[in-house]
């Protein structure tokens, strides 16, 4: 069946127009939980204990969930059954996997129980399309697109959500929040309660975001990328020392730094081949917001600089793994060599 949006299903719930089977596919946790709770709330509270079932496929067999789905509603007219984390729809292999009867699922999909809404909550980027159960499920179910939201969608979602709660956020505060969460809606949802607590007059300011939303190692390393490319040796070394003082592992810092430069090179090459931002994100399987930031840098810095920095970091990785050389000294030498390359 055709793929629909989360918003479309929410409207169908309001209209009490539910399909027998849904497949909620994608990694956006906030929307997945919102949809799940809205489906549950569609049932009178006194019926939920008897007619709403939630089954985690890593702990419970598929047969148990399907038996519930095929049961007659108890003190009500409908049943709602969630199948959580159906890893067997992917190529993932579990060490201690349960024995799931897929023939039972195929039989159910061929003739779904009319009084039951069966919902597969699949928090995965993709499924194994070669599997018979995946093909049949996609044919029988309404497939709900729950892929991560774009930056524009996150902005709209956040501002609308805050307005509903009676809050506002300044443009600068919004930019900092997006930067520190990589425009990830789940990360924003985790930070928002703290910001609402400190927001005076229900206004979220840039200072509050800076104080309440901590920077991740990845974000600090992103700043380090900028300093390296600008050949600001003093500031780059200061930030590197700060990360070491925070007990961050040198190999981990270097791996993230190396990964950032690899991404910049990949984005620059794809952009030169005519790829748009969205196409680059889907090709590299990274969040569109990261691609946006990378594109901003590749417009300023040359490919040769990106390549030289990347190769220098690969060399550091080799030295860190094979020798006991001081990580800080290795980074100093890297900056010295990188700066001299510009002069040469």
So what's the pLDDT on residue 93?
80
Tokens of 309: 């920095």
Secondary-structure breakdown of the chain: helix, strand, coil percentages, each rounded to the nearest 5 = 60, 10, 30
Max CA separation in the chain (angstroms): 81
So what's the pLDDT on residue 176?
94
Residue 55 φ then ψ, to 5°: -125, 120
For residue 148, the 8-state DSSP code is P
| CATH number, domain 151-212 | 1.10.8.60
- What are the DSSP calls for 209-260, one per residue? HHHHSPPPHHHHHHHHHHHHHTT-HHHHHHHHHHHHHTT--HHHHHHHHHHH
| CATH number, domain 3-145 | 3.40.50.300
Residues 157-194: tens digit of each pLDDT: 999 999 999 999 999 999 999 989 989 999 999 999 99
So what's the pLDDT on residue 98?
79
CATH 1.20.272.10 residue ranges for the chain: 217-343
CATH 1.10.8.60 residue ranges for the chain: 151-212
Class of domain 217-343: mainly alpha
Q: Within its chain, how far is the Cα of 172 from the centroid?
A: 23
So what's the pLDDT on residue 263?
96
| Residues of the chain below pLDDT 70 | 1, 342-344
Return the half-sphere exposure (C-beta side, CA atoms, 13 A cut-off) of residue 157. 21
What is d(CA 241, CA 220) in angstroms, rounded to the nearest whole number?
Answer: 12
Residues 303-339: tens digit of each pLDDT: 999 999 999 999 999 999 998 889 999 999 999 999 8
CATH 3.40.50.300 residue ranges for the chain: 3-145
So what's the pLDDT on residue 182?
87
Comparing CA positions, the residue from 179, 125, 124, 178 lying closest to residue 156 is 178
What is d(CA 275, CA 270) in angstroms, rounded to the nearest whole number?
Answer: 6
What is d(CA 9, CA 321) in angstroms, rounded to the nearest whole number?
Answer: 51
So what's the pLDDT on residue 174?
96
Q: Within its chain, how far is the Cα of 249 from the centroid?
A: 24
So what's the pLDDT on residue 343?
53
So what's the pLDDT on residue 87?
93
């Amino acid at each position: 069946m055709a793929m629909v949006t989360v918003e479309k299903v929410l409207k169908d719930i309001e209209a009490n127009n539910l399909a027998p089977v849904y497949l909620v596919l994608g990694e956006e946790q906030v929307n997945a939980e919102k949809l799940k709770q809205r489906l549950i709330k569609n049932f009178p509270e006194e019926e939920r204990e008897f007619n709403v079932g939630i089954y985690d496929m890593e702990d419970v067999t598929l047969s148990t969930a399907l038996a519930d789905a095929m049961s007659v509603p108890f003190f009500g007219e409908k049943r709602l059954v969630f199948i959580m984390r159906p890893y067997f729809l992917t190529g993932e292999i579990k060490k201690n996997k349960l024995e799931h009867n897929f023939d039972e699922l195929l039989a159910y999909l061929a003739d779904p129980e009319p009084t039951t809404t069966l919902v597969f909550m699949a928090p995965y980027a993709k499924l194994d399309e070669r599997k018979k159960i995946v093909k049949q499920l996609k044919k029988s179910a309404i497939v709900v697109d729950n892929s991560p939201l774009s930056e524009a969608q996150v902005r709209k979602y956040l501002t609308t959500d805050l307005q509903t709660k009676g809050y506002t956020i300044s443009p600068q505060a919004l930019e900092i929040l997006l930067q520190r969460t990589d425009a990830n809606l789940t990360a924003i949802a985790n930070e928002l309660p703290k910001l609402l607590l400190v927001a005076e007059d229900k206004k979220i300011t840039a200072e509050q975001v800076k104080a309440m939303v901590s920077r991740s190692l990845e974000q600090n390393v992103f700043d380090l990328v900028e300093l390296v490319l600008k050949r600001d040796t003093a500031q780059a070394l200061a930030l590197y020392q700060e990360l070491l003082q925070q007990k961050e592992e040198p190999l981990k810092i270097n791996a993230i730094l190396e990964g950032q430069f690899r991404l910049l090179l990949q984005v620059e090459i794809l952009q030169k081949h005519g790829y748009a931002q969205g196409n680059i994100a889907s090709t590299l399987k990274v969040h569109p917001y990261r691609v946006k930031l990378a594109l901003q840098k590749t417009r300023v810095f040359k490919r040769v600089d990106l390549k030289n920095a990347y190769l220098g970091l690969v060399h550091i990785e080799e030295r860190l793994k094979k020798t006991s050389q001081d990580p800080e000294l290795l980074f100093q030498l890297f900056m010295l060599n990188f700066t001299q390359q510009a002069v040469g």
